[in-house]
């Protein structure tokens, strides 16, 4: 799944270059593109804790408005929707290179850390 995500990022960035536009959502959507979906400037505390943890553990380079929203969704989704929100969260992030971790293992890791840190209200490194 990471390979597909990475290829989509490359295609998206090439369309940006070809069209010379900062927002190309009408032509090609990529929820991990900061130009098309800039993040909110005000980060919640739990998002800051999440990003500090995630970007130190994985080759995460940047996030978008959607990354912030998908993390917030984890507070109220249930059942199988939890996994959909986590998949969306992972794919809303740009990476410097393809992570070496298995995609499903990463999903479980995020969910485990989410629970241990009480929704990223507590620094996961303190446990």
Pair of tokens at residue 85 = 């929100």
Q: Is the pLDDT of residue 107 over 90?
A: yes
Mean pLDDT for the stretch of residues 47-64? 97
How confident is the model at residue 127, as a pLDDT?
65
CA distance 58 to 72: 20
* Percent of the chain's residues with pLDDT above 90: 69
Say which DSSP state 117 is in.
T
CA distance 9 to 90: 13
| Residue 53 confidence class, pLDDT cut points 50, 70, 90 | very high
Task: Confirm if 111 and 73 have CB atoms less than 8 A apart.
Answer: no
Q: What does pLDDT average to over the chain?
A: 92
Across residues 34-52, what is the average pLDDT? 94
**What are the tens digits of pLDDT across the range 78-104?**
999 999 999 999 999 999 998 999 999
Over residues 95-116, the mean pLDDT reads 95
DSSP state letter for 47:
H
β-pairing, 94-95 with 60-62? Answer: antiparallel
Pick the residue with more confidence: 24 or 124? 124
Structural tokens at position 106: 């990463």
Q: Please answer whether residues 127 and 116 qualify as being in contact, where contact means their C-beta atoms are separated by less than 8 angstroms.
A: yes
Which of 35, 39, 9 has the alpha carbon at shortest distance from 23?
Answer: 35
- Cα–Cα dist 47/69, whole Å: 10
What is the predicted pLDDT for the residue at 5? 83
């Amino acid at each position: 799944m990471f390979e597909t995500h990475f290829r989509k990022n490359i295609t998206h960035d090439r369309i940006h270059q070809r069209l010379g536009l900062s927002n190309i959502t009408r032509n090609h959507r990529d929820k991990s593109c900061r130009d098309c979906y800039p993040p909110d400037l005000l980060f919640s505390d739990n998002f800051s804790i999440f990003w500090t943890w995630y970007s130190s553990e994985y080759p995460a380079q940047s996030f978008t408005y959607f990354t912030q929203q998908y993390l917030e969704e984890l507070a109220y989704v249930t059942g199988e929707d939890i996994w959909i929100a986590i998949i969306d969260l992972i794919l809303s992030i740009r990476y410097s290179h393809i992570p070496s971790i298995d995609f499903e293992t990463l999903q479980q890791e995020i969910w485990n850390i989410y629970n241990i840190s009480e929704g990223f209200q507590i620094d996961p490194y303190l446990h």
